[in-house]
């Protein structure tokens, strides 16, 4: 196992691995925070978007930081990865969040319109699509810390 971990250190496998596991562990952290905050277990949290912290942000920032640690923060590779991360985080906090607000508004309008015949209304739109800026920043911070710790640990092997 240690030989395998040494073989992925400092290459694309490390970048992909840290990016994916950073998002995965952020999703687990999101489940823990939701459970503690609401005092109930909801396994759907593992497969939903939105919430604290942003696993999308954690994944893309973890990937970007790992690229920077391997190739250098002045490299073209880091510039591409960081740009990808910024677009993803902007989308999470901007476009998808506003789409969620629109869905909430439409759901309220449908509730009012069909208040006497809720069966005719159909399925509600999903409202939790994006993130608040704080959730995005928390996910990015998690990605930075996670990438640095895992990369440092792999170098110690």
> Tokens 């509730």, residue?
111
pLDDT for the residue numbered 1: 85
pLDDT for the residue numbered 110: 75
Q: Collapse the DSSP code of 72 into the 3-class scheme (helix H, G, I; strand E, B; otherwise coil) and give the result.
A: coil
pLDDT for the residue numbered 57: 95
pLDDT for the residue numbered 105: 74
Residue-range definition of the domain harbouring residue 19: 2-156
pLDDT for the residue numbered 156: 92
pTM of this structure: 0.81
User: Encoding tokens for residue 73?
Assistant: 């923060």
Cβ–Cβ under 8 Å, residues 124 and 105: no
Contacts of 27 (CB under 8 A, 6+ apart): 45, 46, 55
User: Encoding tokens for residue 9?
Assistant: 């250190």
DSSP 8-state secondary structure symbol assigned to residue 45: G
Length of the chain: 157
User: Encoding tokens for residue 76?
Assistant: 């073209």
pLDDT for the residue numbered 52: 86
pLDDT for the residue numbered 49: 74
Number of structural domains the chain divides into: 1
Mean per-residue pLDDT pooled into runs of 10, the chain (157 residues) = 88 96 95 90 79 92 98 98 94 70 72 66 62 90 98 94
pLDDT for the residue numbered 118: 56
Alpha carbons 40 and 46: distance in angstroms, whole number:
14
């Amino acid at each position: 196992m240690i030989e395998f971990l040494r073989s992925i250190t400092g290459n694309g496998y490390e970048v992909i691995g840290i990016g994916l596991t950073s998002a995965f562990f952020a999703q687990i952290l999101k489940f823990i925070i939701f459970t503690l905050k609401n005092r109930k277990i909801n396994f759907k949290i593992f497969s939903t978007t939105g919430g604290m912290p942003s696993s999308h942000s954690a994944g893309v920032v973890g990937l970007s930081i790992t690229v920077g640690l391997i190739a250098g923060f002045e490299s073209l590779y880091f510039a591409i990865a960081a740009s990808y991360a910024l677009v993803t985080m902007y989308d999470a906090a901007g476009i998808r969040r506003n789409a969620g607000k629109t869905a909430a508004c439409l759901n309220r309008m449908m509730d009012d319109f069909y208040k006497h015949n809720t069966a005719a209304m159909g399925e509600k739109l999903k409202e939790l699509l994006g993130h608040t800026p704080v959730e995005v920043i928390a996910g990015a911070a998690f990605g930075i810390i996670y990438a640095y710790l895992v990369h440092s640990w792999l170098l110690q092997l």
